[in-house]
Structure 1
Amino acid sequence: MTLRPAVFLDRDGTINVEVNYLYRLEDLQTIAGVPEAISRLNRAGRFVVVVTNQAGIARGFYGVEEMHALHEHLNAVLKQHDAHVDAWLFCPHHPDFTGPCACRKPAPGMLLEAAVRYDLDLGQSWLVGDSAGDLGAGTAAGSRTILVRTGYGAAVESLIETGEVERPSVVVDALPQAVDHILRTELERL
């Protein structure tokens, strides 16, 4: 069996504008250039996986059904740009409400699950996100990490400079620049 690399994407603050506990379709707004960036990953043959903490489920703000409906809506938006997400993984937990779990980022559980389920090579994969938890999950799984300055990313970048957050492989403005870096890096390896 041959393992393949993946690009793991955080959802809120990386794909869409950060909205606390996003679940309403009318509140979904993709970040500029993101659908096209995901389309570029698709055309390059990269397996795209969204890994998202959804603590609003544990807190009772919305249910799994509402989250799935939002993901279906986001898929429809992406489809308009010839883009798609190959797999969606989510953590519905919050330590204050459901206790500890292995899937809530910064734990690598969602990435490890995806690796087994989809035959992924985590060491050749990337995780792109806007939070310290995203970076921690990617690092713990053995993947390369990219911090985007969208969402909470600009604030997290300042914590990197003080040493409070581990330095990612690279810091970029947004997902389109992350995709540029991923595809350029992979071309240089050939």
Structure 2
Amino acid sequence: MKLLILDRDGTLNRGRDDKVASPDEWEPLPGALEAVARLNHGGWRVVLATNQSGIGRGLFDMASLNAIHLKMHRLLAAAGARVEAIFICPHAPEDACGCRKPAPGLFQQIGARFGVPLAEVVAAGNSLRHVQAGAAAGCATHLLLTGQSAALGGQPGAAIAGLPPATQVHADLSAFADWLLAQVPPPSKPTA
């Protein structure tokens, strides 16, 4: 199974300093939904792993988050795309949980749910926390220079402080999708 774990805010949609707290505030980034459609058509199952500390901080509730995700799913479907599942960490940073990125807990939950060794999973997102969590879980990691990471001033191929070794850097989700879809899969091993 080809499994891809994406971040949400700043990767699929515009991030906000005050958190995306309602469906009206959820705006897809240009080309992001179409990139997910291309990945789906290329055989990739896409899952989201997202910190949603606004719940733990009392900024919005699960009903609001579900309404945001309903809008996201509708817009993805209109673009011919699909996200298989959404794994969230609802905790505030001070809760010191094991699922808040950069901890690898969400990634471990995804690996267990889908029955896929995390060494075979690709993780891409716009925050160092996302790629650090992916690397800690054993995933192949990719940083997208959108949202939070745009402030890092990096360029694709440039070194960025705090970036896990072997992490590749891409301009955005569309550029990452182009790169991933261009990769040649390894030949199948002959069966005995």
Q: Same fold judged by TM-score > 0.5? A: yes
Structure 1 runs of 4+ with >6 Å offset: none
Per mean C-alpha deviation after superposition, the further-off stretch among 114-123 and 49-58 is 114-123
Distance of 1:146 and 1:162 partners within structure 2: 12
- The alignment's TM-score, normalised by the length of structure 2, stands at 0.89
Residue type of the alignment partner of 2:131 = L
Per mean C-alpha deviation after superposition, the further-off stretch among 11-20 and 116-125 is 116-125
Distance of 2:160 and 2:31 partners within structure 1: 30
Contact 1:6 1:121 in 2 (8 A): no
Distance of 2:99 and 2:137 partners within structure 1: 12
Could you tell me which of 2, 18, 36 is aligned with 1:5? 2
Q: Deviations over 1:140-183 (max 9, x none)?
A: 1111111111101123455x846343345211111011111222
Could you tell me which of 96, 109, 113 is aligned with 2:109? 113
Q: What is the CA distance between 1:188 and its match in structure 2?
A: 5.0
Distance of 2:37 and 2:174 partners within structure 1: 10
Distance of 2:160 and 2:35 partners within structure 1: 31
- Alignment partner of 2:147: what SS? coil
- Alignment partner of 1:52: what SS? strand
Q: Show the counterpart of 1:152.
A: 148
Residue type of the alignment partner of 2:127 = S
Distance of 2:160 and 2:108 partners within structure 1: 30
Could you tell me which of 73, 84, 87 is aligned with 2:85? 87
Contact 2:2 2:43 in 1 (8 A): no
Q: Show the counterpart of 1:143.
A: 139
Contact 1:135 1:168 in 2 (8 A): no
CA 1:169–1:162: 2 relative to 1, 3 Å: closer
Aligned runs of 1:29-108 on 2, under 5 Å? Answer: 29-96=27-94, 99-108=95-104
Q: Show the counterpart of 2:121.
A: 125
Contact 2:144 2:172 in 1 (8 A): yes
Distance of 2:3 and 2:153 partners within structure 1: 24
Query: Higher helix fraction: Structure 1 or Structure 2?
Result: 1
Distance of 1:84 and 1:110 partners within structure 2: 19
Contact 1:147 1:168 in 2 (8 A): no
CA 1:11–1:175: 2 relative to 1, 3 Å: same
Q: How many pairs does the alignment contain?
A: 183
The alignment-based identity, stated in percent, is 33
CA 1:62–1:126: 2 relative to 1, 3 Å: same
Q: Which runs of 5+ in 2 are unaligned?
A: 188-192
- Alignment partner of 1:177: what SS? helix
- Alignment partner of 1:152: what SS? helix
Q: Which runs of 5+ in 1 are unaligned?
A: none
Contact 1:58 1:94 in 2 (8 A): yes
Q: Deviations over 1:14-65 (max 9, x none)?
A: 0001123102111111111111111111112211100000010011000111
